[in-house]
């Protein structure tokens, strides 16, 4: 009988392993209070202070004092800028514009004088030669001055460089023409006409562009000097409003009408505002007077002077061309029309404009003399032109450059009258510009002193109120 295989004996149970004790969780680090930034700390203190009346008063005092100091700084900066612009107008840009006009006049007069001397030939008056050399020397000296004072403008330097380069070429052509003319060589006329062309197309064009550039700069400086100091005025009104609000608040809380410190600050601010507006209004009026009653007159006078010089040069070139000067004659008529208007119709001419802009008898008188001399010049030119066309060339030349009853005599009268008018208007401009600059004098110091006094007054006034809480 078979028996099933017996099961293997059971292995003894493994001894029980006691569970590992639980490891305690790491203790959390103690919380470190977050450090507030200086701004947050200040804001918290400000909020805390704003909950109490003493704190509010301190805040009001600090705000008022800060606004007053801001007003002083803004006013000082703006008035300094306006005073600097006014000083630039009277001592910088306007004189530069006048110098540019004088460069143009000197060059044009030199060209005119050279042509008149050429017509005289060997009988050239030494005074004519001296006038030509004086014009050239004046132009060279003014160009050197303009180069030094216009160093900040590349465009102005470019025009000055053109003039400096062309001036010796021009004088060389004139000397060649003069030498040939003295030897009786007709080639001298060609050289002089080429010199005149060089002057008209290159040199006078550059001088005119330089004058226009300096005049534009002058107008920009004038506009800057006349601009209202809006930042100062608005800041002043804000300060005044805050001071009035602070005093009203003081009255509502204490039933006291005045706080002497705040009242002093209000008075200082009011004085500064009135001074600011009044001084700038006076300065603006003076600068406007300098522009409308002097600078604009100068512009018209310089324009008239230019046309007279061009007409005189064309008159001489017409004769030098000996029958081939119809183009120069047409140019002469054009310049005379611009100078004095069409014959019998002076309205709209440069002399008419200069007469209308002159604001006193002393300014109108030389312009009236120029108008009379121009009419005489035209009449004599007509006679000289008739002689030339009739073949009386030397008689025509004598009527142009002779010693008496000539177009040259009439031109000299026009030239002298316009010079007198320019001198008068320049003096008027300088006087008005000085008045405009002087009107701002003392205001910068006043802005500092008054706002400091106002700030001290506000702090003392608030301090006296705070002392009541102690």
The pair of three-digit structure tokens given for residue 417, joined into one six-digit string: 């009258």
CA–CA distance, 51 with 64 (Å, rounded to integer)? 19
373 three-state secondary structure: helix
CA–CA distance, 77 with 235 (Å, rounded to integer)? 13
Residue 417's CB is within 10 A of a number of other CB atoms, namely 25
For residues 329, 334, 336, 337, the Cα torsion angle rounded to the nearest 10 degrees is 140
Residue 5 backbone zone (phi > 0: left; psi -120 to 50: alpha; other: beta): beta
Q: Is the dihedral of CA 421, 424, 427, 429 positive or negative?
A: negative
Residue 15's CB is within 10 A of a number of other CB atoms, namely 6
The pair of three-digit structure tokens given for residue 252, joined into one six-digit string: 């509502």
Enumerate long-range contacts of 13-17, CB under 8 Å, 24 or more apart: none
Give the closest residue to 374 by CA, choosing from 425, 404, 412.
412
Distances (CA, A) of 85 to 210, 219, 225: 21, 11, 5
Render pLDDT for 397-425 as a digit per residue (tens, 0 to 9): 888 887 788 888 899 899 999 999 999 98
pLDDT the model gives residue 1: 44
CA–CA distance, 470 with 462 (Å, rounded to integer)? 13
pLDDT the model gives residue 53: 66
Residue by residue, pLDDT tens for the chain (470 residues) are 445 555 455 555 555 555 555 556 555 555 555 666 766 666 666 666 556 666 677 777 788 888 889 988 999 998 889 888 888 888 888 888 888 888 999 998 898 888 888 887 767 778 888 989 999 999 999 998 888 887 667 888 899 999 999 999 999 999 998 888 887 777 888 888 888 889 888 998 999 899 888 888 888 888 888 889 999 899 989 989 888 888 887 777 766 667 787 888 888 989 999 999 998 999 989 888 888 888 888 888 998 998 898 888 888 888 887 766 578 888 889 998 998 887 666 677 889 998 998 888 888 999 999 999 999 999 998 988 888 888 888 888 888 887 788 888 899 899 999 999 999 988 888 888 888 888 888 888 888 898 898 888 878 877 666 666 65
pLDDT the model gives residue 5: 52
Q: What is the pTM of this model?
A: 0.76
CA–CA distance, 158 with 155 (Å, rounded to integer)? 5
345 phi, psi to nearest 5 deg: -135, 80
Q: Is the dihedral of CA 36, 40, 41, 44 positive or negative?
A: negative
């Amino acid at each position: 009988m078979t028996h099933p295989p017996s099961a293997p004996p059971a292995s003894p149970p493994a001894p029980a392993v006691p569970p590992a004790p639980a490891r305690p969780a790491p203790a959390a680090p103690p919380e470190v209070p977050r450090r507030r930034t200086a701004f947050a700390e200040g804001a918290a203190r400000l909020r805390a202070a704003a909950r109490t009346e003493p704190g509010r008063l301190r805040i009001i005092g600090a705000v008022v004092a800060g606004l007053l100091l801001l007003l002083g700084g803004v006013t000082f900066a703006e008035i300094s800028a306006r005073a600097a612009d006014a000083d630039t107008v009277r001592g910088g840009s306007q004189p530069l514009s006048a110098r540019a006009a004088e460069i143009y006049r000197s060059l044009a007069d030199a060209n005119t004088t050279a042509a008149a001397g050429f017509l005289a030939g060997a009988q050239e008056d030494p005074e004519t030669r001296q006038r030509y050399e004086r014009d050239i020397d004046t132009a060279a000296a003014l160009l050197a001055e303009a180069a030094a004072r216009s160093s900040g403008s590349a465009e102005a330097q470019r025009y000055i460089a053109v003039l400096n380069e062309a001036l010796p070429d021009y004088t060389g052509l004139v000397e060649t023409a003069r030498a040939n003319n003295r030897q009786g060589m007709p080639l001298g006329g060609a050289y002089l006409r080429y010199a005149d062309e060089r002057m008209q197309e290159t040199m006078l064009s550059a001088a005119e562009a330089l004058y226009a550039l300096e005049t534009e700069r002058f107008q920009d400086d004038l506009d800057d000097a006349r601009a209202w100091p809006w930042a100062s005025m608005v800041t002043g009104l804000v300060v005044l409003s805050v001071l009035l609000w602070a005093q009203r608040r003081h009255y509502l809380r204490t039933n006291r009408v005045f706080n002497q410190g705040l009242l002093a600050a209000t008075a200082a601010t009011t004085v500064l505002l009135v001074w600011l507006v009044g001084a700038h209004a006076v300065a603006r009026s003076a600068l406007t007077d300098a522009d409308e009653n002097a600078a604009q007159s100068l512009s018209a006078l310089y324009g008239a002077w230019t046309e007279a010089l061009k007409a005189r040069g064309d008159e001489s070139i017409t004769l030098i061309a000996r029958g081939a000067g119809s183009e120069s004659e047409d140019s002469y008529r054009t310049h005379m029309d611009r100078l004095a208007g069409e014959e019998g119709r002076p309205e709209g001419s440069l002399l008419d404009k200069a007469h209308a802009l002159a604001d006193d008898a002393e300014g109108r008188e030389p312009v009236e003399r120029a108008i009379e001399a121009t009419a005489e010049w035209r009449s004599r030119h007509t006679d000289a032109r008739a002689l030339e066309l009739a073949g009386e060339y030397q008689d025509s030349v004598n009527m142009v450059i002779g010693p008496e009853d000539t177009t040259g005599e009439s031109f000299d009268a026009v030239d002298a009258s316009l010079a007198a008018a320019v001198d008068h208007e320049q003096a008027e401009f300088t006087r008005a510009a000085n008045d405009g600059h002087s009107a701002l004098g003392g205001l910068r110091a006043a802005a500092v002193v008054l706002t400091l006094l106002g700030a001290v007054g506000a702090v003392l006034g608030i301090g006296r109120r705070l002392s009541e809480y102690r």
